Structure 1
């Protein structure tokens, strides 16, 4: 994922958590906040230590970033959003995670309408 598409600073995360809207399914939670100052979108990923070792957490993080990178053109611009992994994600294959994450993004109204 490109550097300008990453949400990295603690204050940015806190702003999205505090002022953003949340949407969830069984596998992921998404907090999103409109940000008109950015041209595209920025994404942060949060994976708790409760989900497993660093190897497991980084694998989940990499898969989520790859899913967003491959579906970048479908995601609405001018938004900051954070994806939080829940426990069932640990046992999921890539395709299952992709389907779940895209479903959560759709529920959060972060996908462009296909017209």
Structure 2
């Protein structure tokens, strides 16, 4: 994922948590907030130590980043988005995680409408 698409600042995370909206399923919680001064969207990913050791957490983080990167043309612009990984994501295949991420984005209206 490109650096300009990352949400890294503690203040930005706090703003999204405080003023944003959220939606959840068994594997993920997604928080989002509109931000008009960014041209695309930015993504932050949070994986708690309760999920597992550093290897497990980083693998889940990398998989979510890759899912977002591969579907970035479908995600709405001018948004700050935070994914929180839940224990339900442990042991899931990449395809199951991808379906779950797309489900939570669709339900939160963060995917662009399909043309045609």
Determine the C-alpha separation between the residues in 2 that align with 1:6 and 1:108: 20
Partner of 1:48: 48
- Counterpart secondary structure, 1:50: coil
CA drift of 1:44 comes to 0.2
For 1:27-106, list aligned pairs within 5 A. Answer: 27-106=27-106
- Counterpart secondary structure, 1:51: coil
List alignment gaps of at least 5 residues for structure 1: none
Partner of 1:2: 2
Q: Quick check: 1:20 aligned with 2:17?
A: no
Per-residue CA deviations over 1:2-56 (Å, capped at 9, x if unaligned) read 0000000000000000000000111100000000000000000000000000000
Kindly tell me the number of residue pairs found equivalent between the two proteins.
115
Determine the C-alpha separation between the residues in 1 that align with 2:65 and 2:85: 12
Greater per-residue helix proportion: 1
TM-score, length of structure 2 as denominator length:
0.98
List alignment gaps of at least 5 residues for structure 2: none
RMSD, aligned CA? 0.4
Determine the C-alpha separation between the residues in 2 that align with 1:19 and 1:31: 9
Q: Which structure 1 residue ranges, 4+ long, deviate > 6 Å from structure 2?
A: none
CA drift of 1:88 comes to 1.1
- Counterpart secondary structure, 2:90: helix
